[in-house]
Structure 1
Amino acid sequence: MQLDDVDRLAQTVRLGKRPHPVPLDPASWTVLQRSLAHREAWPTDNPHVMVTKGTKAGRSPASIAYLSHVLDDCGYPPRMIRSTRLVDLVNTMDPKLVAAAFGMDPQAALIYLADNIDPSRLHDQQERS
């Protein structure tokens, strides 16, 4: 992702070949803002959001190897972090919107609803009995 892909006013990003900008939830927007603030401290003309010691002098993106290991120290693989974020988003928002934002099939987003019970609906069911 490049700096031009970030719309600070709308809090959206353009990802890959997706036809529309992707709105970011508050937690993701905060992470992106911290990344951009960290990046601004580096004197570089590299157009990418993530800049490493090896890419700050050029214009190439961070390597796939770097990106796959950037979170090693936290002890959680990117896949687990993504799944955790998706579970939270799908359970608090419309699963179809989440699927569209992440470029997923709507049916795939429904998997993250498994074993989720809305406690407010349980009370209604007990009153009807």
Structure 2
Amino acid sequence: MKFQREGTLIAALGMEIVEIIEGRVVMTMPVDERTRQPFGYLHGGASVALAETAASLGAAALIDPEMELSFGLEINANHIKSKRDGIVTATAEIEHRGRTTMVWTIKITDEEGALISLSRCTMAVVEKR
């Protein structure tokens, strides 16, 4: 799968791709000055950005890039635990793969495996025009 990294949110937030296989994506992101909110903790928006990015890459890996595009349609997140520094890991797994939508569950964990955030993201699949 070909995609642009430089000049995107992936690069700006320091996200790294660990694994992309059919129906599963694993990514990491640092908890640092790029991803913290003003009170020194991981920003919920950064967690959501990581979750949607993982689901987006997963969806892109499952479509025909010559004929289709995928876009985030909806995402929700429950922020379970705070984090001040280190690395978080997002694991996105497909729950539903339809003709025009996909639904992904994304778990973000810390280095010890503790759940930081839990998201569900619906991806739209549209024909290229």
TM-score for both structures, normalised by structure 1: 0.23
Structure index of larger Rg:
1
Bigger relative CO (Cα 8 Å, ≥ 6 apart): 2
Structure with more of its chain in strand, by fraction: 2
Structure with more of its chain in helix, by fraction: 1
